[in-house]
Structure 1
């Protein structure tokens, strides 16, 4: 299933790359709430009977859209469900490889190895989550893929760009949090999977290519990214470990994130840094209000 937000052209390219894959239903949730954008998706639906377009009444965010789409599909417990970012391209045998891995490891979440750029370097081949610091890392990042390692392996963090699983696993995890809107839904899911003993795996024999940042625009990361990433790291880490968000290491990591737009961005540095501040304040405010509400009840 695919969540679309003004990415219909990229969705068309993705669907082209999936033509050789055996897929019963491709559900596209349109969060654009735009007649012209919906019309483009409906044209794709007309050209392929396996495609089902589900228009949203409002932009519900990534996690809520995925949850709604999967429930709309009403899969059986053993069905394979694959969430795919629109700005990706799958190699022809990617899904087949993933399905083989899920047959071997049915109670797991599996991602292909994802590359980016002209050199085909690694964008995602696994990662880690440090709740104490509120830090997520892709490991290894921007390196040539290890062509000698083709066996699936376990990781601590599962990126939300292309995870696949049996529906029964999704039910055990209870889906994505639907209150984050965008960013860190995959971190939260990874933490819960690790706590539940559900394996997170990379199949390096399955490959996808990611057009990094394409669905967010070409002006670097957006102010919305900085706001929601700053806010949601606080919400997610607070849920996982209530004391971590007040630690010195967590505040230090927040300071590093505040400096990121000033160091990396070429446009709107100050406004993006301000978004980090606003997002952080919103996160701590929401934690405080939740705590007060719990205490009262």
Structure 2
């Protein structure tokens, strides 16, 4: 709310938290509305659900997760960039993400590896290739969005990668060097790392990256078995199979992490 570009409308989604935090909040600002889902939709479907609740369709929509903190000039710096020519406009803008506790950069956008992995750029480098932006905090040109915006089948993790890859086919995606936002972050659970990595390349019909990802995940499973990490190996295996079939087994989220 303290940004130099004030929002037109804010939707806060209670993704079936059951902690009564939102129900006990009292905010008089007319721009803010609370919506509630009857089940945990995950990030992808949750963001889609909240976006549909917007009454005002502005040129840009900011997607923000609950733990992110922005500097007061973050939005101003995001909009200070050249938004590109009409034939190749900027469709997605993100800040450089720093760790909330350490003030250390952990994501200056991300890149796709030769084996089909998704890696964060952990330092600011204007020459870094930005292949995708982290879903924690990013602006998207509303007119470029289709419904659903994010692929609901991902639930958590890699849905931001898949969205950026789609948008980059229509225009530019940019991570702004000096626009800073802060977030506490964790590693991707093994189930989602295996499932959604494989799923991404199936959806995009990218056979080389699908095969490379499959080989990579299988090598991890073999390594886990050799080390006696049988539960982790099983979690990766279920995730890989679910990535291929499109099934989802959320009970494996916390197993073998």
Count of aligned residue pairs for this structure pair: 240
Q: How far apart are 1:136 and its partner, in Å? A: 0.7
Residue of structure 1 in register with 2:173 after alignment: 200
Q: Unaligned stretches of 5+ in structure 1? A: 1-17, 214-220, 263-268, 288-297
Contact 2:3–2:76, Cα closer than 8 Å, also in 1: no
Paired with 2:78 and 2:54, the residues of 1 have a C-alpha distance of 20
Q: Unaligned stretches of 5+ in structure 2? A: 248-257
Residue of structure 1 in register with 2:246 after alignment: 286
Q: Could you tell me which of 160, 164, 167 is aligned with 2:139?
A: 164
Q: How far apart are 1:30 and its partner, in Å? A: 1.2
In proportion to residue count, which structure has more helix? 1
Contact 2:202–2:210, Cα closer than 8 Å, also in 1: no
TM-score (norm 2): 0.80
1:243-262 pair list within 5 angstroms: 243-244=207-208, 247=211, 249-255=212-218, 257-258=220-221
Contact 2:167–2:173, Cα closer than 8 Å, also in 1: yes
Q: Give the alignment's Cα RMSD to 1 decimal.
A: 3.0
Paired with 2:223 and 2:179, the residues of 1 have a C-alpha distance of 32
Contact 2:150–2:159, Cα closer than 8 Å, also in 1: yes
Verify: 1:82 aligned to 2:46, yes or no.
Answer: no
Paired with 2:199 and 2:120, the residues of 1 have a C-alpha distance of 21
1:92-107 pair list within 5 angstroms: 92-101=72-81, 107=90
Residue of structure 1 in register with 2:255 after alignment: none
Paired with 1:86 and 1:202, the residues of 2 have a C-alpha distance of 20
Paired with 1:126 and 1:259, the residues of 2 have a C-alpha distance of 31
Contact 1:114–1:122, Cα closer than 8 Å, also in 2: yes
Paired with 1:107 and 1:45, the residues of 2 have a C-alpha distance of 37
Verify: 1:27 aligned to 2:11, yes or no.
Answer: yes
Q: How far apart are 1:89 and its partner, in Å? A: 1.0
Q: How far apart are 1:206 and its partner, in Å? A: 1.0
Q: Could you tell me which of 194, 197, 207 is aligned with 1:233?
A: 197
Q: Relative to 1, partners in 2 of residues 1:108 and 1:271: Cα closer, same or farther, differing over 3 Å? A: same
Residue of structure 2 in register with 1:109 after alignment: 92
Paired with 1:93 and 1:238, the residues of 2 have a C-alpha distance of 39
Q: How far apart are 1:257 and its partner, in Å? A: 4.8
Contact 1:261–1:273, Cα closer than 8 Å, also in 2: yes
Residue of structure 2 in register with 1:182 after alignment: 156
Residue of structure 2 in register with 1:294 after alignment: none
Q: Residue 203 of structure 1: SS of its match in structure 2?
A: strand
Contact 1:64–1:178, Cα closer than 8 Å, also in 2: yes
Q: Residue 40 of structure 2: SS of its match in structure 1?
A: coil
TM-score (norm 1): 0.70
